[in-house]
Structure 1
Amino acid sequence: MCDHIVESPFKVAPDSFIVDGTPQKRLFRSIIADYGLLTSICELIDNAIDHWTASGRQRTLLIQLFLNADRQLIAIRDNAGGVPRSDIQLLVSPGASRDEAGHQFIGNFGVGGKRAGIALGQRVEVTSRHGEGETLRFVLSDDWLTQDTWEVEVERVPEIEPGSTNVSISSLRQGFSFSDIDALGRRLAEIYANFVGENCDIRLNGNSVGRTKFDNWAYPPEHRPKISNFAISPSEDGTTVAVRLSAGLIQDREPKEGNYGVYIYCNDRLILAHEKSHEVGFYKGEAGVPHPDASLARTIVEINGAPELMPWTSNKSGINWSHPTFLEIRSRIVSLNAHFVKVSRRLKNEREEKVYAHQKGEMEEISLDHKESYKKVVDLPLPRGRRKAYSERIIDENAGITLSKPWTLGLVEAMGVADTIARKRLHTKNRIGLIILDSNLEIALKEFIVHRVDLYPPQKIRTLNFLSCSRKGMR
């Protein structure tokens, strides 16, 4: 039978029984494997931002992170308003989270903050003061994880700053270095760029992380960046989600870093950056395979709505490609991305004059309201393929002559090579070019004599060779 049969207040059929569904503590250990330093820190920042959002964002939010690489300690402090006594359970119980309609929260799974702290260290101490009220503290440790009970002792402690919460994590499970701290700062600047500003600041070891945005568009007149705003209803109850798609050529191209592709934000938080997978159009027939030729193209996807309708994964480090919200907009993302990848490929040899030179302008608004309207993007004009170099054009233009008179091919190619050398930064390029032209003229004349049998029959050619050899001997 079952060891966890309990009495129930509900009527049970004679041939039925009730099983206790209370989760075991091992739940925490089984779901922290996909949490590292960045994802864990982000979950704790998400919690602070959600508290701030729930209180109406009435004050300037300050989130302070302290990472001590020497002592391997982590502390997070925020002034988001503090956690009221009635909500302390939300910080402990798995699955417990806010249920406030109308808020675009970025933490909705009810386990993120809990498992993030436990994933980082063996001891997590949380101290919070709601407004001007009492200061409460509790500890989650490995000792607590080994106990059968879910009860947590919450104690009153000396007051901290009003409306603040402090989280201290020690006995870390995974260590970090000074370079890890630097990398963390750069990533936080990207992930929370839409929050950091006049009313929000995130500081790492006393310094603001700042913000890094990816809307660094170039504005070539014929290929301005496109933008489209529309709403979708991915749920059966008709709840809408606002979507904004932006795409274009960029000015901050870094081919080594691969900072092109698709960027996805959910409720203003960056979830995925420089994505180049099949799911966003990088396959044959659309954007093709990822290649530096495509590194001028970027597509930004911004999705805002109820947190349960966001297509993020549970730790918010990726996208659930089978989520209804993403599937609803995927075709439009693929179409926009593929269009500007094609433009990027065709302008790869003219970036300076046709892309980077256009630093200011306005985005072109297009309509992608309907599911099928994305097809219109395919009809957007593409630039012509790159113009061939002079050395290639001269061969094409003289193809008829070189075919009928083979001795002229060397002359034609020599002109192309001389032109190429003339464009190089060489002090003696004129002399090199003259040597090439003189040598090729001599060779072409010899080939002319050999091929024009009507003017120079074999007997006459042998005479010319004899004369040539005699003169060389005289020298």
Structure 2
Amino acid sequence: MAKKESEHETIWGGPTKRFFVSMLTRDIGLSDAILDLIDNCVDGATRQLKGRLRSEERPYDGYEARLTLSAKSFDITDNCGGIPREAIADAFLLGRPKVEKDKDLPTIGMYGIGMKRAIFKIGQEAIVESYASDGAFSVEYDRAWLEPENQEWDLSIAPLKNKKEKGVTICVPTLKKEISRQFGNAAFQNELRNKVSEHFGYLMQKGFSIWVNGEKVRPKTLQLYTSDSPKDKGIRPYDFEATNNGVHIRVTVGFYRTLVRMEEVDEAAERTQEKEQAGISVICNERLVLENDKSLITGWGDGSVPKYHPQFRGIAGFIIFSTDEPEKLPISTTKRDLDVGADVYLFARKYCMEGLRECTDFTNKWKGMEDEATQHFDLATKRDARTEVNFAAKHGVPIRGNEKAKKFSAKLPVPEQRNPMRRISFTRKEDAVRSVSEHLFGESGQKPSVVGQECFDRALKASRK
């Protein structure tokens, strides 16, 4: 009997275990995978705080995450509420089936793969324990389940005796070999602490605590020079805020240090600089996504904004996106990369470029007169850019065509018109510079900038005779 036209064969179109446990883990670095786990802790606390996040200065006081890592094992424990019974099934799926799960909450967990991907990357086996107000349980990822060729997807879940403190613990008793080497390395542990302090610095300001191997991590946040009065001539940041399609946007660009002197520019060209705060960082729902960027991504070298140069090492700032609809944030599944083509990002970038233009123009106008410019910095105070700089909100002017946007231009001091300074810059081979240094100063070790200036000063003196 012939098959009816509506009857047809089917094939399996689902995923393989290998894709998740072996391939997807390659898209994220080890430190970022751990940051994902801390993100989940913060999201748990955020769910507990629903309705109080904007009414308190430090709403996360009392909430914490504790990490312990070594060459032998890894675990992370929080006190952020645990996984409620109704969310258990979704929590262990590879991907989030319900996009609306955290509607009206400023989380960044949209894809439902962070915890699982981190476990797959780090260990050969793992146990997840949850203690929530409506019950406690444990879920085990054993070695057999984590085998790439194993197509069994069911996980073992068992009830636990509940505890007073509600939260989640993830224990990885057996690490992958390459992960063991890194976890046992003191340099990696220090790098992880630094990343945690930068990535969660603004959440720590709101009370959240993070511990790594028993040591409390201190937040790192941006401090910018700010004159007290917005009307006086002084050093102030450019500040902008707006709401675009349900996303609150804040852009602040200013100076975290005094202007770079000519000799510092020369030194920067000769050697690799230590990590510094120059550049633009991007923050989404209080998590750092892009740090100290000096590229086209944040507007450097686009249109009338010059490319980044060591003379601009004093300029720093951030673009901040905040929303209760995390799917509108311009971020990727790793939460560490930007969707730079998103309309909301392009909107914010335009005003970041405006702030960069004001600050680079100021730097260029005072080129060669950095010592004179320092007097203006001396009259300013370094303040926390996220919590203490709010010129747009208090003194900004509305932007035509956007009633929900306000902008405060920095209005930076301009040098008096006089005989302008001009920069002289060139390079010569090191042995030639040392030879001229010996001739001029009787020793060969003077800095190239000092040698060049002395040559010019002597030639100028001779030309005026």
TM-score by structure 2 length?
0.72
Matched, 1:149 2:152: yes
CA contact (8 A) 1:47 1:107 kept: yes
> How many angstroms apart in 2 are the aligned matches of 1:34 and 1:335?
34
Matched, 1:107 2:109: yes
Quote the residue 1:304 is aligned against.
322
Shift of 1:198: 6.2
Alignment match of 2:254 (pick from 226, 248, 253): 248
Matched, 1:341 2:360: yes
After superposition, the Cα gap between the structure-2 partners of 1:321 and 1:141, relative to the gap in structure 1 and judged at 3 Å, is farther
CA contact (8 A) 2:399 2:406 kept: no
Structure 2 SS opposite 1:228:
strand
After superposition, the Cα gap between the structure-2 partners of 1:345 and 1:67, relative to the gap in structure 1 and judged at 3 Å, is farther
* Per-residue Cα deviation, 1:89-136 (whole angstroms, up to 9, x for no partner): 2332111266132111121111111101211222221111113x5431
Matched, 1:88 2:92: no
CA contact (8 A) 1:192 1:270 kept: yes
> How many angstroms apart in 2 are the aligned matches of 1:375 and 1:84?
41
After superposition, the Cα gap between the structure-2 partners of 1:386 and 1:212, relative to the gap in structure 1 and judged at 3 Å, is farther
Report the more deviating stretch, 255-264 or 331-340. Answer: 255-264
Shift of 1:388: 6.0
Alignment match of 1:191 (pick from 193, 199, 209): 199
After superposition, the Cα gap between the structure-2 partners of 1:358 and 1:382, relative to the gap in structure 1 and judged at 3 Å, is closer
CA contact (8 A) 1:347 1:354 kept: no
Quote the residue 1:117 is aligned against.
119
Shift of 1:329: 2.1
Letter in 1 for 2:297: E
Shift of 1:67: 1.4
Quote the residue 2:19 is aligned against.
27
Identity of aligned residues (%): 19
Shift of 1:253: 8.6
Matches within 5 A, 1:90-239: 90-96=90-96, 99-131=101-133, 133-146=134-147, 147-160=150-163, 162-169=165-172, 170-172=174-176, 173-174=178-179, 175-176=181-182, 177-197=185-205, 199-219=207-227, 221-233=233-245
Matched, 1:322 2:328: no
CA contact (8 A) 2:331 2:337 kept: yes
Matches within 5 A, 1:252-291: 256-283=274-301, 285-291=303-309
Structure 2: runs of 5+ lacking an equivalent? 53-59, 261-272, 384-388, 424-439, 441-453
Quote the residue 1:358 is aligned against.
380
Letter in 1 for 2:95: G
CA contact (8 A) 1:124 1:168 kept: yes
After superposition, the Cα gap between the structure-2 partners of 1:192 and 1:284, relative to the gap in structure 1 and judged at 3 Å, is closer
Shift of 1:322: 1.2
> How many angstroms apart in 2 are the aligned matches of 1:194 and 1:247?
17
Structure 1 SS opposite 2:311:
helix
> How many angstroms apart in 2 are the aligned matches of 1:232 and 1:391?
43
After superposition, the Cα gap between the structure-2 partners of 1:381 and 1:163, relative to the gap in structure 1 and judged at 3 Å, is closer
Quote the residue 1:42 is aligned against.
35
For the pair shown, which has the larger CA radius of gyration, 1 or 2? 1
> How many angstroms apart in 2 are the aligned matches of 1:363 and 1:84?
39
Shift of 1:76: 0.3
Letter in 2 for 1:171: L
CA contact (8 A) 1:36 1:119 kept: no
Letter in 2 for 1:52: A
CA contact (8 A) 2:224 2:254 kept: no
Shift of 1:286: 2.9
> How many angstroms apart in 1 are the aligned matches of 2:254 and 2:168?
42
> How many angstroms apart in 1 are the aligned matches of 2:409 and 2:415?
15
CA contact (8 A) 1:263 1:275 kept: yes
- Aligned residue-pair number: 381
> How many angstroms apart in 1 are the aligned matches of 2:316 and 2:130?
42
Matches within 5 A, 1:381-396: 383-384=414-415
CA contact (8 A) 1:283 1:289 kept: yes
After superposition, the Cα gap between the structure-2 partners of 1:25 and 1:390, relative to the gap in structure 1 and judged at 3 Å, is closer
> How many angstroms apart in 2 are the aligned matches of 1:94 and 1:359?
49
Shift of 1:346: 3.4
Matched, 1:55 2:44: no
After superposition, the Cα gap between the structure-2 partners of 1:354 and 1:391, relative to the gap in structure 1 and judged at 3 Å, is same
Shift of 1:158: 4.9
After superposition, the Cα gap between the structure-2 partners of 1:288 and 1:371, relative to the gap in structure 1 and judged at 3 Å, is farther
Report the more deviating stretch, 222-231 or 311-320. Answer: 222-231
TM-score by structure 1 length?
0.71
After superposition, the Cα gap between the structure-2 partners of 1:94 and 1:378, relative to the gap in structure 1 and judged at 3 Å, is same
After superposition, the Cα gap between the structure-2 partners of 1:78 and 1:377, relative to the gap in structure 1 and judged at 3 Å, is closer
Structure 2 SS opposite 1:33:
helix
CA contact (8 A) 1:127 1:135 kept: yes
Letter in 1 for 2:278: Y
Quote the residue 2:311 is aligned against.
293
